[in-house]
Amino acid sequence: MYVAVKGGEAAIANAHRLLADRRRGDRAVPAITLEQIVEQLSLSVDRVMAEGSLYDGELAALAIKQARGDVIEAIFILRAYRTTLPRFGYARPVDTGAMLVERRISATYKDLPGGQLLGPTFDYTHRLLDPALAETGEPAPPATRPAGDEAMPRVSGILAGEGLIEEDGALPQDHRTGDLTREPLDFPMQRDLRLQALARGDEGFLLALGYSTQRGYARSHPFAGEIRIGLVEVELDVPELGFAVTLGRIRVTECQMVNQFQGSAKAPPQFTRGYGLVFGQSERKAMAMALCDRALRARELGEDVTAPAQDEEFVVSHCDNVQATGFVEHLKLPHYVDFQAELDLVRRMRREVEEARAAGAADREAAE
Amino acid sequence: MHEREGAGDEARRAAMAVLAQAPGDMLDRLWRESGLPGEAEMLRGPETGLVGLRGRIGGGGAPFNFGEATATRATVKLPGGEVGHAYALGRDTRKVRIAAILDALARRPEAAATIETAILAPLRAALAEADARRRDETAATRVDFFTMVRGED
Amino acid sequence: MHDASVIEGGFARPVFDAQAAFRAVMDAMARPGTVQPVPPAARPPAPLAATAGAVALALCDHDTPVWLDTPLAASEAVSAWLGFHTGAPRAATPAEAHFAFVAAPAAMIGLENFAQGTQAYPDRSATLVLQVDTLREGPALRLAGPGIEHEARLAAAPLPRHVAEQWAQNNARFPRGVDLVLAAPDGIAALPRTTRILSRED
Q: List residues bridging with A255 in a β-sheet.
A: A227, A276
- What gap in Å lies between CA A84 and CA B149, rounded to an integer? 64
Residue to test with chain C: of A84, A85, A87, most C Cβ within 10 A: A87
The size of the B-C interface in CB pairs under 8 A is: 29
DSSP letter string, A46-61: HHHHHHHTEE-HHHHH
State the nearest Cα–Cα gap between A21 and chain C, in angstroms: 35
- Which residues of chain A have a CB within 8 Å of the CB of C60? none
- Which residues of chain C have a CB within 8 Å of the CB of B76? none
Using CB atoms, pick whichever of B61, B91, B137 lies closest to residue A169: B61
Element (H, E) at C72: helix C70-73
Name the percent of chain A lying above pLDDT 90: 74
DSSP letter string, A170-206: ---TTPPPP-TTTS---SS--HHHHHHHHHTS-HHHH
- What gap in Å lies between CA A193 and CA A186, rounded to an integer? 10
- What gap in Å lies between CA C178 and CA C125, rounded to an integer? 6
Q: Which whole number is the average pLDDT over C118-125?
A: 93
The number of C-alpha atoms within 13 Å of B10 and in the hemisphere containing its C-beta is 2
Residue to test with chain B: of C5, C84, C85, C90, most B Cβ within 10 A: C84
Report whether pLDDT(C172) > 90.
yes
CATH assignment of the domain containing C153: 3.40.50.11310
Q: List residues bridging with B72 in a β-sheet.
A: B48, B88
Q: How confident is the prediction along chain B (153 residues), in pLDDT tens digits per residue?
A: 344 445 578 999 999 999 999 999 999 999 999 999 989 999 988 999 999 999 999 999 999 999 999 999 999 999 999 999 999 999 999 999 999 999 999 999 989 999 999 999 999 999 999 999 999 999 999 998 887 776 665
- Which residues of chain A have a CB within 8 Å of the CB of C7? 240
Which of A252, A269, A91, A96 has the alpha carbon at shortest distance from A168? Answer: A96
Helices A57-66 and A42-52 cross at an angle (nearest 10°) of 100
Report whether pLDDT(A92) > 60.
yes
B150 touches A: beta carbon within 8 Å: no
Which of A63, A58, A67 has the alpha carbon at shortest distance from A36? Answer: A58
State the nearest Cα–Cα gap between B130 and chain A, in angstroms: 11
What phi-psi label fits residue A118: left (phi over 0), alpha (psi between -120 and 50 degrees) or beta? alpha
Which tens digits make up the pLDDT trace of A243-274? 999 999 999 999 999 998 888 877 778 889 99
Contact C13, C41 (CB under 8 A): yes
Neighbors of chain B by Cβ distance (3+ pairs < 8 Å)? A, C
- What gap in Å lies between CA B28 and CA B19, rounded to an integer? 11
Which tens digits make up the pLDDT trace of C76-106? 999 999 999 998 999 999 999 999 999 999 9
Which of A273, A268, A300 has the alpha carbon at shortest distance from A158? Answer: A273
Helices C50-59 and C14-30 cross at an angle (nearest 10°) of 100
What pTM was estimated for this model as a whole? 0.88
State the nearest Cα–Cα gap between B3 and chain C, in angstroms: 5
B1 and C1 in contact by Cβ < 8 A? no
A55 and B67 in contact by Cβ < 8 A? yes
What phi-psi label fits residue A142: left (phi over 0), alpha (psi between -120 and 50 degrees) or beta? beta
Helices (H), chain A: 9-24, 34-40, 42-52, 57-66, 71-82, 155-160, 191-199, 203-214, 283-295, 298-301, 312-318, 321-329, 336-367
- DSSP character for B118? I
3-state secondary structure of C138: coil
The confidence score (pLDDT) of residue B8 equals 76
Which of A191, A201, A199, A196 has the alpha carbon at shortest distance from A179? Answer: A196
The size of the A-C interface in CB pairs under 8 A is: 21
State the nearest Cα–Cα gap between C134 and chain A, in angstroms: 34
Report whether pLDDT(A2) > 60.
no
Using CB atoms, pick whichever of A54, A92, A273 lies closest to residue B67: A54
Using CB atoms, pick whichever of A86, A87, A239 lies closest to residue C83: A239
- Which residues of chain C have a CB within 8 Å of the CB of A86? 61-62, 87
Helices (H) and strands (E) in chain B, counts: 5, 3
- Which residues of chain A have a CB within 8 Å of the CB of B135? 100, 147
The confidence score (pLDDT) of residue B66 equals 97
The confidence score (pLDDT) of residue C1 equals 39
State the nearest Cα–Cα gap between A212 and chain C, in angstroms: 37
Report whether pLDDT(A221) > 70.
yes
B6 touches A: beta carbon within 8 Å: no
The confidence score (pLDDT) of residue A240 equals 83
The confidence score (pLDDT) of residue A159 equals 75
ipTM (interface predicted TM)? 0.92
- What gap in Å lies between CA C129 and CA C57, rounded to an integer? 12
A86 and C62 in contact by Cβ < 8 A? yes
Largest Cα–Cα distance of chain C, in whole Å?
55
For C6, the closest chain A residue by CA position comes to A240
- What gap in Å lies between CA A320 and CA A199, rounded to an integer? 10
Going from the C-alpha of A207 to that of each of A52, A214, A286, A288, the distances in angstroms are 17, 11, 9, 5
The number of C-alpha atoms within 13 Å of C201 and in the hemisphere containing its C-beta is 11
Name the percent of chain C lying above pLDDT 70: 97
- DSSP character for A135? S
Distance of CA C162 to the CA centre of its chain: 18
- Which residues of chain A have a CB within 8 Å of the CB of C80? 239-240
Length of chain C: 202
Which of C118, B13, C174, B14 has the alpha carbon at shortest distance from A241? Answer: B13
Which tens digits make up the pLDDT trace of A306-352? 999 999 999 999 999 999 999 999 999 888 889 999 999 999 999 99
Count of domains forming chain C: 1
Element (H, E) at C167: helix C163-172
DSSP letter string, A343-366: HHHHHHHHHHHHHHHHHHHHHHHH
Angle (CA) A268-A269-A271 rounded to 5° is 115
The rounded radius of gyration (Å) of the Cα atoms in chain A is: 27
Angle (CA) C39-C43-C47 rounded to 5° is 115
Other Cβ atoms less than 10 A from the Cβ of A60: the count is: 32
Angle (CA) C87-C93-C97 rounded to 5° is 45
Neighbors of chain C by Cβ distance (3+ pairs < 8 Å)? A, B
Which of A297, A324, A46, A330 has the alpha carbon at shortest distance from A202? Answer: A324
Cis peptide before A188 (omega within 30 of 0): yes
Contact B59, A154 (CB under 8 A): yes
- DSSP character for A65? H
Which of A144, A164, A156, A168 has the alpha carbon at shortest distance from A106? Answer: A156
State the nearest Cα–Cα gap between B99 and chain C, in angstroms: 18
pLDDT band at residue A129 using 50, 70 and 90 as cut-offs: very high
Which tens digits make up the pLDDT trace of A163-185? 788 888 888 888 989 999 988 88
Q: Which whole number is the average pLDDT over A4-22?
A: 90
- What gap in Å lies between CA C153 and CA B99, rounded to an integer? 53
- What gap in Å lies between CA C195 and CA C202, rounded to an integer? 20
Angle (CA) A266-A271-A276 rounded to 5° is 100
- Which residues of chain A have a CB within 8 Å of the CB of C3? none
B147 touches A: beta carbon within 8 Å: no
pLDDT band at residue C133 using 50, 70 and 90 as cut-offs: very high
A94 and B140 in contact by Cβ < 8 A? no
The number of C-alpha atoms within 13 Å of B110 and in the hemisphere containing its C-beta is 2
- What gap in Å lies between CA A142 and CA C53, rounded to an integer? 57
Residue to test with chain B: of C2, C61, C68, C86, most B Cβ within 10 A: C2
Assigned domain for C200 exists: no
State the nearest Cα–Cα gap between C89 and chain A, in angstroms: 10
Q: Domain of C41?
A: 4-193
- What gap in Å lies between CA A351 and CA B51, rounded to an integer? 62
Assigned domain for C41 exists: yes
Residue to test with chain B: of C5, C7, C13, C78, most B Cβ within 10 A: C7
- Which residues of chain B have a CB within 8 Å of the CB of A103? 138, 141
Average pLDDT, chain A: 92
Report whether pLDDT(C23) > 50.
yes
- Which residues of chain B have a CB within 8 Å of the CB of A86? 47, 49-50
Lowest-confidence pick of A15-29, A70-84, A106-120, C120-134: A106-120
Residue to test with chain A: of C2, C11, C63, C84, most A Cβ within 10 A: C63
- Which residues of chain A have a CB within 8 Å of the CB of B139? 117, 144-148
Residue to test with chain B: of C5, C8, C76, most B Cβ within 10 A: C8
